[in-house]
Structure 1
């Protein structure tokens, strides 16, 4: 009877095997390594060997990219996870909850923007001093209508042009 060895999260894979299993280019793996997102081992000859559990990290990186989460934040979150072993379900759930909250905040912001756009399109407003979409948080508008940072008219007359030369 032939005994079949089950894969272990600590099995070492070559870069070619990781590329084939994840669909991520070798150059991307090198980039993730430079960013501290994944940590291969090195043979005496310098060949990279990745623990099988690095596939999970790569999958998380790909999801984070789709969600618009910067790699710097992924690295920060990965810093809370063990790099020498497969993170536990509890580790992943903690990471998931952080990103779920971030996604919910983004979702609410997009819904708010959609509502503002609907109101703007619905009312036909094209006024920059009133439009929340085009001019959110307008502070200078509280001082009144019109431009607030332009020089007074008399200071803008080019040299050599008389004020009464109409």
Structure 2
């Protein structure tokens, strides 16, 4: 690993990649999406301020939580220009994402619990579908795994898989 001087105010894309553990191509992608920014030298090389490390860490953690890049960008746009997220920013932003994460957790739990019995799609391909989805009732509501996707079928409205 290349040692970056502690008082260096800027990092090259290679240094940022090494320090953040994120591939150079991903950093270029983040920049193209407006998640991070750089300045260009006279030789057209990218230079990132040191605080970009925190922004990259913020993006990576949010991605690991399953937050879409568009939502991450919107969150970063709420911060004053060029400022990296602070602990307080992270607390506020992550609290706003809590309901979405809870919904995903519930979907994954339902998927895990119903995985061997039914995929909830209205396909009538399994013996149990005739019981849990009589007359392809779910197919009339639209495409997709209706019983498992809590955005399409909230738990209070879905019939449990008959088993």
TM-score band, normalised by shorter chain? 0.5 to 0.7
Asked if 1 retains the 8 angstrom alpha-carbon contact of 2:58 and 2:85, the reply is: no
Greater gyration radius: 1
Partner of 1:128 in structure 2? 129
Aligned partner of 1:33 among 27, 31, 34: 31
Q: Post-superposition shift, 1:100?
A: 2.8
Q: Post-superposition shift, 1:136?
A: 7.8
Task: State how far apart, in whole Å, the 2-side matches of 1:60 and 1:97 are.
Answer: 14
Figure out how many residues of one structure are paired with residues of the other and give that number: 128
Task: State how far apart, in whole Å, the 1-side matches of 2:137 and 2:62 are.
Answer: 29
Aligned partner of 2:72 among 66, 69, 74: 74
Partner of 2:97 in structure 1? 99
Task: State how far apart, in whole Å, the 2-side matches of 1:49 and 1:115 are.
Answer: 49
Q: What are the Cα deviations for residues 34-90 of structure 1, in whole angstroms up to 9, with x where unaligned?
A: 000101122233221111111112112222332232222221222112341233322
Task: State how far apart, in whole Å, the 1-side matches of 2:138 and 2:80 are.
Answer: 43
Question: What TM-score, normalized by structure 1, do the two folds share?
Answer: 0.63
Q: Post-superposition shift, 1:30?
A: 0.8
Aligned partner of 1:24 among 22, 25, 39: 22
Give ranges in structure 2 of 5+ residues lacking alignment: 119-125, 142-163
Q: Post-superposition shift, 1:98?
A: 2.2
**Are residues 76 and 129 of structure 1, via their aligned partners in 2, closer, same or farther at CA, if it must alter by over 3 Å?**
farther
Question: What TM-score, normalized by structure 2, do the two folds share?
Answer: 0.64
Task: State how far apart, in whole Å, the 2-side matches of 1:126 and 1:6 are.
Answer: 65
